[in-house]
Structures are given as C-alpha cells and as structure tokens.
C-alpha cells in the first residue's frame, strides 16, 4: 500500500522517526502521486522534484517534528529560494521570475524538516474565491472535477484532498484557507493576526495570515506549533499560548457557551449550508456545550464594512502590483494582469487618503465591538463556512463585459469568513457535512483573539464524533 494513502503528516513523521520509512521514500512517493494525479487537477504548477530529493537525501535535513514529510507551498507570498514566484500574475510568469530567498515562514518549515516538493496554483494575487487564473488555468475539485476547489488556496486544498501530500501551506485574506477547506473536505484554520510571521514581503497588521490545509486537527496543531514563532521586527505578535497546540489536542475545553448563526445577514444562504451549521451545533450540544442562536450585533454593519473591505482590497491590489513590479525592475502594466485585477488596482489608485483613514477607523470600531461579544461571556460562534456550495468552474471568473464579475460573485463565499480577517480573530473550517450532491460543506468556529487553543480542543471533539479524515475524495487513490 502507498505509504501516503491514509497517513497524516504527524503519522508520517512518526514513521520516519522510527525508521520504518525514509525521507527519500516519502518524497519519491509524493512525486509519483503528483505526477499521477495532478494532470487531472492542475493543482501543482511549479515542481521542485530534484531539489526535494536532494533535501530528503541530505544529512543536513533538520531533525524537526516533521522531518521527511513532503509539503507544498502556495504560490503567493511565502517565497522559497531558487523557485518560481508568480502569484498567478501573467507578467511574472512571462518573465520566468525566480525568487532568491526564503520567506520567514518557509524558514520555519525547513527547520521543522518538511521537504518542499513544489508550489500550488492560486488566483491572481489571491483575490477571488475560485482558483482559475488565466496564467495557469483552472484547478479542479477532486470531489467533482467540473467544480472549483475554492480560492485562493484552491491548489493547496485540491492537492491535499487528492492525497498528493498530507498538508500544504495556505493563506487567508478574506477566507482563502477556510473556503477551499470547506469545498474540499479539509481542516482549515485561520490563525490570529500576528500568530505567524508574514515577512519579509508582507506585514502582520493586514488582513492576510498564513497557515495550512490538512486532514486532521493534530496536523493543524502541530504545524501551527512550528510556525508560530515570531521573527525580529514582526509588526504584530499574537499573545503566546499557555502550552503547545499539540498538547491541546484531545484536552477538555470545559463546558462552553456558543452562539449559532446559521444564515448570512446580507445575502441568500443555500439551505444545505445552513443545515451544516445546525448539524455542527447539535454535535456541540451532544458533547456537552451550551449552544443557542445568537451572534454579535456588530455583524449588522455588514454593508458598510463590506465597502471598506472592498476599498482595502483595492488599495492592497495596487500596492501588491507595485511590489511585484519592483521585483522585475519595472512597473506592471495592464497587459501583465487580468482585466479584473487591473480594474481593481485602478479603483485603489483613485481612493483618497481620507477615505482610507475613515475605513481604518471603522474597522477598528468593528474590531472592538466584535470583541465585546466574546468578552461578555461567549466562547465561540458557529456558522456555515460559506453561504453557497462549490461553484461550477467558470461561474466565478471575469468576462470582457464584466471584468469584476469574479469579485462580485465571490461575495457569498466570503460573507461568513471575511469579518474575522478584519478583526484578526482565529477561525477554523471543519468538514462536518455534505451537500445534496455529496460534496463537502464546511462549518466555521470562531474564537476570541488569541484563542486558537479553544478551536483546537473543540475541533478535536468534533473530529472524534465525525471522523471526517476517513472519508476521502473520489480522486484520492
């Protein structure tokens, strides 16, 4: 039996530590699976197989907690020395750009002994809830290849769900870890702002954070332990946990007070998505928690916050194009990117400073108002991860007449997730249900800032009740 077939990253590391398998054997197994499975999915767009085998063979491979485990990086902001770095941007692809250094997070991955076998597909600049960049083409969902795997970490989620590797790097600026995790039947934790270093190309004060998609809670916890170590100069550093997250796996969180929001406040919600949240709520009740309908009143400012979020998205888009252009030594032009990306960047350029400052002020007020709900006695909020089911490929892409179609149609996928990018709170998507076509649906749990430990403990209780890791996608050999 293929050693990668059902083992998570923690189990594979244990096999290496015991001498049952070698890092080279695991790496070669991952390479074989990528070569065999990925032509049907288009998830792994940059393959670093030769360097991966060299890493695995090296006597200098660090003896960390994940020594020898094959791993994939998302081709967005975590750069890896000597590898392509394109962020879905056609201009960088055409230039054949290769980055010279490792990002801080990639340094942590290497220190843990992970073997980097490639980089995964992402929408251009990670801007939308589908992974269909013009530069690299669409990634298919291993549960239903005619559907998308979500975005922007769709390549990562498709690769893990199809069994190419047990876990993969992902990032989340509006739901981009949680949305693909929901659509591909995986665990996806968005950590607290400042939990994981974003440097040197990004800072920690923004909307986006880094972590992984994986099958099991213990992998999610263990990979967070190796990542959640700050670097000098990090802009935001989340409060240190009382103990390693791996020690929280299986720990009793006590009887918690949990609010339930089973429908979106400003868009339609697919009934299957609402049912998933109610099923999650029932499971939480069965394991001993107090669950009742309710949510922070601050979520009612959604439309106003949505405009501010869009403005920040546009400004960030313009700034990111400038940063990427600096790598090439020239400004990126309209010909280098997709029409929707260019239009969004132009919107960002047109925003005046006062609008941006007022938006930042509203986000700060929203963050404080949201925090009060948790401070007043609630421990968690449970919601659907998305308000819509996995889309058909093509449904969320721009057109010549509607360049921003991908952004507007992404809204139902981010309505439950994006508020917590604004607040910086940790949130996790868990694969607790399937829709009427048998495709995965995620349920989101949200904790107070800095309380990833609660999410890990409660997610373990739900994992024991549901055993989602035993159910794999049809394209998982």
Residues designated catalytic: 74, 152, 176
Q: Residue 344's CB: how many other CB atoms inside 10 A? A: 27
CA distance 394 to 147: 9
Residue 118 tokens read as 């490639």
Q: Residue 464's CB: how many other CB atoms inside 10 A? A: 11
DSSP state of 332: -
**Environment class of residue 228 by beta-carbon count within 10 Å: exposed (0-12), middle (13-18) or buried (19+)?**
buried
CA distance 448 to 427: 9
CA distance 322 to 374: 38
Q: In 58-204, where do the E strands start and end? A: 70-74, 83-84, 98-99, 115-120, 167-172, 187-190
Q: Is 99 strand, coil or helix?
A: strand
Closest by CA position to 197, among listed 102, 123, 122 = 102
Mutual orientation of helices 339-350 and 302-328 as an angle, nearest 10°?
Answer: 110
CA distance 60 to 246: 26
Q: Is 434 strand, coil or helix?
A: strand
Tokens 């990979």: give the residue.
Answer: 223
Q: Residue 252's CB: how many other CB atoms inside 10 A? A: 9
CA distance 76 to 88: 8
Q: Residue 445's CB: how many other CB atoms inside 10 A? A: 24
Cβ atoms 289, 467 nearer than 8 A = no
Give residues with Cβ within 8 angstroms of 390, minimum separation 6.
141, 143, 144, 147, 148, 149, 150, 183, 439, 440
């Amino acid at each position: 039996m293929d050693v990668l077939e059902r083992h998570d990253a923690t189990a594979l590391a244990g096999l290496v530590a015991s001498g049952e398998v070698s890092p080279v054997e695991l790496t070669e197994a991952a390479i074989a699976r990528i070569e065999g499975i990925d032509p049907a999915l288009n998830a792994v767009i940059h393959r670093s197989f030769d360097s991966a085998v060299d890493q695995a063979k090296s006597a200098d491979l660090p003896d960390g907690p994940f020594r020898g485990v094959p791993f994939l990086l998302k081709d967005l902001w975590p750069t890896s020395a000597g590898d392509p770095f394109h962020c879905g941007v056609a201009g960088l692809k055409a230039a054949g750009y290769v980055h010279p250094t490792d990002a801080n997070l990639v340094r942590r991955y290497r220190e843990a002994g992970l073997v980097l076998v490639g980089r995964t597909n992402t929408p251009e600049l990670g801007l939308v809830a589908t992974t269909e960049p013009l530069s690299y083409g669409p990634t298919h969902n291993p549960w239903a290849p005619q559907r998308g795997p979500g975005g922007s970490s769709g390549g990562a989620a498709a690769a893990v769900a199809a069994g190419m590797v047990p876990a993969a790097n992902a990032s989340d600026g509006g739901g981009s870890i949680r949305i693909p995790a929901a659509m591909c039947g995986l665990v996806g934790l968005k950590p607290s702002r400042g939990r994981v270093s974003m440097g040197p190309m990004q800072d920690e004060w923004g909307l986006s954070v880094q972590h992984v998609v994986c099958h099991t809670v213990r992998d999610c916890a263990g990979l967070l332990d190796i990542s959640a170590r700050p670097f000098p100069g990090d802009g935001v550093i989340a409060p240190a946990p009382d103990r390693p997250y791996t020690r929280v796996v299986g720990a009793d969180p006590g009887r918690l007070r949990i609010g339930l929001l089973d429908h979106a406040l400003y868009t339609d919600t697919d009934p299957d998505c609402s049912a998933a949240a109610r099923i999650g709520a029932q499971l939480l009740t069965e394991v001993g928690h107090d669950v009742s309908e309710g949510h922070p009143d601050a979520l009612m400012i959604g439309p106003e916050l949505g405009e501010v979020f869009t403005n920040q998205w546009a400004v960030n888009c313009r700034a990111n194009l400038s940063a990427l252009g600096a790598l090439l030594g020239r400004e990126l032009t309209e010909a280098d990117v997709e029409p929707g990306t260019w239009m969004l960047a132009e919107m960002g350029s047109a925003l005046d400073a006062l609008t941006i400052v007022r938006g930042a002020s509203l986000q700060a007020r929203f963050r404080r108002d949201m925090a009060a709900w948790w401070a007043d006695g609630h421990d968690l909020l449970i919601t659907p991860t998305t308000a819509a089911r996995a889309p058909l490929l093509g449904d969320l892409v721009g057109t010549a007449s509607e360049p921003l179609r991908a952004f507007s149609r992404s809204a139902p996928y981010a309505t439950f997730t994006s508020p917590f990018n604004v607040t910086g709170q940790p949130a996790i998507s868990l694969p607790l249900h399937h829709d009427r076509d048998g495709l995965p649906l995620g349920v989101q749990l949200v904790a107070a800032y800095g309380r990833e430990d609660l999410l890990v403990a409660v997610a373990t209780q739900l994992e024991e009740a549901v055993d989602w890791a035993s159910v794999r996608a049809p394209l998982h050999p």
